[in-house]
Structure 1
């Protein structure tokens, strides 16, 4: 509108000035032909830009409509796809800013109107960063191909519309700002590929993408490739100031690296390995566990035959008279430590009641800080949770009673029922449920967490397994079932073999609820003995084996 007003004012000024002075001499009118030509060119340029802008806005609108129709057909399944979830957040953050810049008056009006409705909310830039990190987490854990993800493909199956060049660019930029240069590089290359195929006006250019790619290579330590991409950038924009400044810096760095390499080849530098400090050791141990964790998440490992041959299934009928009529189905999943799966122990009506009661109270899930004992958010646990008390409803009280029936343990010092819904790529990295000696214990609960009951309140289309990294055991969610294990030895020492994790949710929505049971009240039900386990020492456990095709 501002441009239109300016041109209208220019035309008005031109015609006013012409009527006042130019009719007296033709020679004074002739220079106005050049002015007239400039106005024609300006109007023509403006209209072309307007047409491109409207064309771009129409493409955005049509894309939004298609995606929204697809989402409304099956909301849980649509949002359970991490690609769809990321693009939805991007539409309402970066894309909305672009649209506002393209047509400010209309968009400001629309946004102001929608903001006045209490049921409308916009994601934040933190949400966009979290969604980008989630896609990267899924990509690394499940060996997903970036090109396939950009085309809306998960494990060979197309579940969503392809991402645009803008989607890939924003994802790459977000990861770059988060200092994840390796993954930022992969997504920027996808953005470049799509940018060349799409005839769309974006708030970035090919030069912007090339600059990110070149500098990402440099930050990853590949200076030669960084130089090549920067030279490619200059072939597109020879006057690019930063690129021209980076070229001599890259050339100097390459020369220094080559000189250092020649010194090493001549034996002028010491080739003795540096001593590994404690931090390096911890890092290597973390890397080993991480490898096992990701293999278990992909379902690539299985427990050895010496364990599987001892596993059994049975019905529990003796802990409550009602179980004579409706026995609990028990499947043993591991021996020493004993891990069980109770099947069909929660009804669909109970699940929907719990979800409905928990949703309004959801907050980001927290963990116990080992130093303070306080609950705090952590990057390694991505989910939202809330707590439900027995006193709130007979349904919650009935679930707690059922835990007693299943486990034979007292609920005198059990925690409230924790309800959890995992987010985009939601996960919880390897951890213990019990407090270790150096950590602040659960004093208000009458002792440490002796046992865990984990109810699965949804099936998960892909991913989301509960895995035990020391045992090589993967438990994939089965709706209405519950996993159960003891966290402590009979002596009260923590069982280090119970270290476990929640794998990232690849597709679907994962709902669980936890009942953590404490030592208080179990004295007569599960007496202690003198079995002792030294801190940091895990008893000998049969090693898991890679899964073989049968």
Structure 2
């Protein structure tokens, strides 16, 4: 079989895949981990280059393609953060080190043992897993849905009209669709299979799959989505391409029977033979609220909502000089983003040197970011939080202790019961869906940590080209990352009750790598700094706040 001529990157390395040891999954959950794949990438390039020299005549085609693939690698090495910050590049890098390796291994049998001996001796490289591929595929669809991206534009390497990467091939689209199908995301799987079919017909390339394979996925996706008529239509197209296809022949009578039964049911309904119309079940209030919040969240991520005029006209910028005597010598630039609850941005409060120290210390400790299970209070991974995190103690380095002191100066709060500094790097399409930082009464969390989380300080350690905003879904506020700045807000009312207006989320990263670190402050030690009063908010009730308004364009 001839390798795909138009694939973005190094698909010829597939012959190594089945023979090498895989690392633990979840590389897709932090861009910092995907960077290690470039080391694997380079090692495979070197190995294949040597192998091709030994097998010049038999593998001349591979050598010719290898030069093309090396160019893509060089492009990546010119600016690794921006290259891997592009979700399309990150997905295709994972893809060619997973499924593409499988396909090419089947096409090259001679010399496999030689390649195995080289690859198995490399203990210092990482390989992604099929779980990483599935995670990357889901990330692309998350970006597609949140930012209203067109599948065709994505396949051509465009993000919001800007071309960031080489176009995807039919093979890329097919594997993306297959990964989504296996995750039971049939709607998006169908869309990517349609794109795979379009490119397949345009490309003069031999793949490990055939046109009939794409048509079968499209047809059965329609069926699983309840559209039997289109399923039947696409199955007929499949039979036109492959008349002997065994599953297609069996599916057609099944589809025809389903369509006939549906038509009979509709005729009976029109004649009134089925009795009274069943009462349509109304969505539960929580479900209805969730749908509204989801729409608000996505609109905020796209920057389509303005803060109400009655709030925005009162917002100010000033120098912060109180809270600590040191601030009289080095005042902090302070920007009000919202009032009641107060959302503040402190500018230029962490230096580039401190950022690099924090990142260097965190990288070796990164683990999949977790959330508190409301039932058990245990920390568990969740699909709605895609990132990796690490925790740094003040005693480990003066830099960390200095950042903690600065948080105290900025906020005027005690660090006696503060949590360690959490460092987070978001993965491909990395996000954290709407949540509260404080624990609600029914949740078993923070019992041993000096009370509830009274405040949050979130440092932005990188700029993000597109996406990655911190959004407050109840307030209609979007805060886009600005390197060296920090966001600050109080999570609790003065009474100690949680402020439900502080519900917030981290939007998916569309282009770039998002690094943040945060400090959560607890109630312990704040008694004289933030004394309680009788303001009370019942559980689950959000006080009246000005209604967010859609952004107007002039």
TM-score under structure 2 length normalisation: 0.88
The residue that corresponds to 1:476 in the other structure is 480
The residue that corresponds to 2:186 in the other structure is 181
Deviation, structure 1 residue 117? 2.8
Deviation, structure 1 residue 506? 0.1
CA contact (8 A) 2:300 2:471 kept: yes
**Following superposition of structure 1 onto structure 2, how do residues 67-466 of structure 1 map, counting pairs within 5 Å?**
67-106=72-111, 109-110=114-115, 112-269=117-274, 270-276=276-282, 280-466=284-470
CA contact (8 A) 1:175 1:184 kept: yes
Counterpart Cα distance in 2 of 1:57 and 1:281: 59
Secondary structure in 2 aligned to 1:443? coil
Deviation, structure 1 residue 314? 1.3
Larger fraction in helix: 1
Q: Which has the larger radius of gyration?
A: 1
Counterpart Cα distance in 2 of 1:115 and 1:532: 63
CA contact (8 A) 2:324 2:412 kept: no
CA contact (8 A) 1:169 1:191 kept: yes
Counterpart Cα distance in 1 of 2:464 and 2:484: 12
Number of positions where the alignment pairs a residue of Structure 1 with one of Structure 2:
499
Deviation, structure 1 residue 111? 5.2
Counterpart Cα distance in 1 of 2:485 and 2:379: 28
Unaligned stretches of 5+ residues in structure 1: 1-49
For each residue in 1:321-372, what CA deviation from the matched residue of structure 2 results, as whole angstroms up to 9, or x when unmatched?
3322221111011111111000000000000000000000000000001111
Secondary structure in 2 aligned to 1:387? strand
Q: Which runs of 4+ in 1 moved over 3 A?
A: 53-60, 104-112, 274-277
Unaligned stretches of 5+ residues in structure 2: 1-54
CA contact (8 A) 1:56 1:201 kept: no
For each residue in 1:450-496, what CA deviation from the matched residue of structure 2 results, as whole angstroms up to 9, or x when unmatched?
00000000000000000000000000000000000000000000000
Q: 1:94 and 1:56, CA in 2 relative to 1: closer, same or farther beyond 3 A?
A: farther
For each residue in 1:187-228, what CA deviation from the matched residue of structure 2 results, as whole angstroms up to 9, or x when unmatched?
001111111122222111001011001000111111111111
CA contact (8 A) 1:57 1:99 kept: no
Bigger mean CA deviation after superposition, 511-520 or 282-291: 282-291
Counterpart Cα distance in 2 of 1:517 and 1:529: 19
CA contact (8 A) 2:193 2:218 kept: yes
The residue that corresponds to 2:13 in the other structure is none
Counterpart Cα distance in 2 of 1:198 and 1:468: 45
TM-score under structure 1 length normalisation: 0.88
The residue that corresponds to 2:45 in the other structure is none
Counterpart Cα distance in 1 of 2:113 and 2:532: 67
For each residue in 1:54-74, what CA deviation from the matched residue of structure 2 results, as whole angstroms up to 9, or x when unmatched?
687457534422321210111
Q: 1:409 and 1:334, CA in 2 relative to 1: closer, same or farther beyond 3 A?
A: same
